[in-house]
Chain A
Amino acid sequence: MDRIYSLLLGELSKKRILCFMLTQIVGVAIVVISVQFFFDVRKALDTTSLDKEYVILTKKVGTLSGLFSSDLSFSDANIADIQSVEGVGSVGEFTSSNFRVQAGVTMSSRGIGYTTEMFFESVDDEYLDVKSDQWRFDPKRKEIPIIVPKNYINLYNFGFAPASGLPKLSNDLIKSIGLDITVYDDSGSRHQFSGHVVGFSSRINTILAPKEFVEWGNSTFTNSGETQPDRLILSINPKQTETILEKLKSDGYEVENKVFNYEAVSKTVTFIVSITLFIGVIITIMSLVLLVLSLFLLIERNRSKIFNLYILGFPLKTIFKPYMKATLLLSSCSFVFAYILSLLARELYLSIMVEELGVGDISNNVWLPLAIVFGLYVLVVGVMQLIVLKELRLIRK
């Protein structure tokens, strides 16, 4: 039936096909990108924090207060006061290592060695934004898992490394490096441990070791006894962020990390995405209208031919087939293009979200955009076919 195809579709111009496909690709891509962006951002907000916000609290360091370190630590009364502020959930205390620590890296294959003085802090696990199976300490095994701030890595990768001609380090590479940890007790004897980084925190700006290790170390290597914490981490209700921070500041405390305002961000994102989605839907509808118009035009031009075919005895489905195949083929091509475009766009914004905004793990839901593309495809092609069928039926009588 090639003759029917060339008879009915011979007048379809390349320009018109191209115009139609372009609008369809743009329209569909915008719809898919905005829908998947919406879900990704939602997911990012969910994984970051939903019902809890965390802030880190210190006392203001004055000119003289530094000389008397006890002024900078929180007393039990301070902690009770802070806990009583409305909207403050739990209060976690930072425990510092009171013993001397040295960390070193040796790359025996290259003969490079490097050691530095350092320290550990610890906090209750519930305040961590990193989940790891390796996050535990057993004195018998002498292995210390470590969490470092994401900021440090960024500082190194984007500041230090390019300036000093050193290579950038990926998270996985950093995790694979083994560290030699040396601890000195009060009498000066050395105790060897091995350490490795198990995660990167964007919430807590310090080098963290499991609480079990720091407490065990403090009791094993020193005799300094219990000390009061210098820093606190609070979980607060995100809806009351403003008033809580105000109150804490007026009480003379300093809030260390910038608070992420979930409510405001969520609303803004929803608003922006809704607008994008709206525009995408409009463009898709316009591309559909454009296609339907060109189909109308094509059918209108072929009206007498189609009528003759009916009189010759051709059934509707034979006459419909070329139109059906043409719309299917064109739409399939443009939908595939649109899907690829949306995947590329997603790759781009995800990398921006992860690297620039420090958004954590967003599981790659490839089925969602695929489902949207498929749903739209069925809808668009279905509508076109129905319209063509209706037009062809009208010519029959």
Chain B
Amino acid sequence: MIKINLNGCLPRVFSDIETESSLWGKDIVFEKGKKYLVKSESGRGKSSFCSYLIGYRDDYQGAICFDEMNIKTFDAERWSSLRQASLSYLPQGLMLFDEISAIENILIKNALTNYRTREWINSAMVRLGIDNRAGFLVSKLSYGQKQRVALIRALCQPFDFIILDEPTSHLDDNTSAEVSKLLIEEVKASGAGVIVTSIGKDMELDYDKIIHL
């Protein structure tokens, strides 16, 4: 997948409201290999935007196309293979399984894709400072620790685009910088596109474009 087109895409809930947005209702292209920051205040449809791209909501008017294909035509199998091999997603709610350990959360995804070695996962955990939390149940981790677990899990698959919904909201500056560094390395290696959303504290990347919702 090389590009994502938004053609007059607008959440239905906003259809009656006048909005000043450089994304909603506009024609915008996200290209592979570039980094985008989508900045917004809360309640502007930032998470809706992510869920449209990941395919679990379609309550919008206009169209979203992956390589000129309208994504509303995709069936469940197509979405499943996209989520395994083309689209990586770090949701704001993290979507971790509380009742299993941090490492199990990562391995469950990696078992599906077989993309990373156990060594890579271990070293990523060391780099983000959560290696000593590997065996802990996710329910016992702090939100910042959970964010890092979810990021490593998001990297356990091949992708053309990675969508990160407020990835560093609960991280201190040092950790945040380390997360950015790891992400940049992986993105460079795969040549993928990055779409980061933020309502305040931005993840430090050299963005090609900043879009205000």
Determine if B97 and A7 form an interchain contact, defined as CB atoms under 8 angstroms apart: yes
Does A379 have its Cβ within 8 Å of any Cβ on chain B?
no
> Known contacts A4-B108, A396-B76: does B100 contact A311 (CB below 8 Å)?
no
Annotate B105-145 by CB proximity to A: 1 below 8 A, 0 otherwise: 00111011100000000000000000000000000000000
Annotate A274-296 by CB proximity to B: 1 below 8 A, 0 otherwise: 00000000000000000000000
Q: What residues of A have a CB within 8 angstroms of the CB of B207 in the complex? A: none
Q: What residues of B have a CB within 8 angstroms of the CB of A10 in the complex? A: 99
Q: Please choose the segment from B30-38, B83-91, B186-194 that sits at the chain A interface, where 4 or more of its residues have CB less than 8 A away.
A: B83-91
Residue of A nearest to B157 (CB): A313
Determine if A308 and B97 form an interchain contact, defined as CB atoms under 8 angstroms apart: yes
Interface residues of B in 74-101 (CB under 8 A from A): 76-77, 80-85, 89, 91, 95-97, 99-100
Determine if B108 and A310 form an interchain contact, defined as CB atoms under 8 angstroms apart: no
Residue of B nearest to A315 (CB): B80
Does A316 have its Cβ within 8 Å of any Cβ on chain B?
yes
Residue of B nearest to A316 (CB): B76
Does A312 have its Cβ within 8 Å of any Cβ on chain B?
yes
Q: How far is the CA of A311 from the CA of B54 in the complex (A)?
A: 8
Determine if A1 and B111 form an interchain contact, defined as CB atoms under 8 angstroms apart: yes
Q: Which of A3, A310, A313, A397 contacts B107 (CB 8 A)?
A: A3
Interface residues of B in 41-72 (CB under 8 A from A): 54, 56
Annotate A378-397 by CB proximity to B: 1 below 8 A, 0 otherwise: 00000000000000010011
Q: How far is the CA of A397 from the CA of B96 in the complex (A)?
A: 19
Determine if B91 and A311 form an interchain contact, defined as CB atoms under 8 angstroms apart: yes
Q: Which of B77, B99, B112 contacts A312 (CB 8 A)?
A: B112
Does A271 have its Cβ within 8 Å of any Cβ on chain B?
no
Residue of B nearest to A393 (CB): B76
> Which of B56, B84, B108 counts the most chain A CB atoms within 10 A?
B108
Determine if A7 and B108 form an interchain contact, defined as CB atoms under 8 angstroms apart: yes
Q: How far is the CA of A3 from the CA of B81 in the complex (A)?
A: 20
Residue of A nearest to B89 (CB): A311
Q: Which of A3, A307, A316 contacts B108 (CB 8 A)?
A: A3
Q: Which of A305, A308, A313 contacts B112 (CB 8 A)?
A: A313
Q: How far is the CA of A73 from the CA of B3 in the complex (A)?
A: 112
Interface residues of B in 126-184 (CB under 8 A from A): 153, 157
> Known contacts A7-B100, A305-B97: does B112 contact A314 (CB below 8 Å)?
yes
Determine if B100 and A3 form an interchain contact, defined as CB atoms under 8 angstroms apart: yes
Does B104 have its Cβ within 8 Å of any Cβ on chain A?
yes
Q: What residues of A have a CB within 8 angstroms of the CB of B100 in the complex? A: 3, 6-7
Q: How far is the CA of A397 from the CA of B79 in the complex (A)?
A: 11
> Known contacts A3-B107, A7-B108, A396-B76: does B83 contact A313 (CB below 8 Å)?
yes
Residue of A nearest to B84 (CB): A313
Interface residues of A in 311-333 (CB under 8 A from B): 311-316, 318
Q: Which residues of B contact A (CB under 8 A)?
A: 54, 56, 76-77, 80-85, 89, 91, 95-97, 99-100, 104, 107-109, 111-113, 153, 157
Extra contacts besides A312-B153, A313-B83 (12): CB < 8 Å: A3-B104, A3-B108, A4-B108, A6-B100, A308-B95, A312-B95, A312-B109, A312-B112, A313-B109, A316-B80, A393-B76, A396-B76
Some 24 contacts from A to B, beta carbons below 8 A apart, are A1-B111, A3-B104, A4-B108, A7-B97, A7-B108, A307-B56, A308-B95, A308-B96, A310-B56, A310-B80, A312-B108, A312-B153, A313-B80, A313-B81, A313-B112, A313-B113, A313-B157, A314-B80, A315-B76, A315-B80, A316-B80, A393-B76, A396-B76, A397-B56
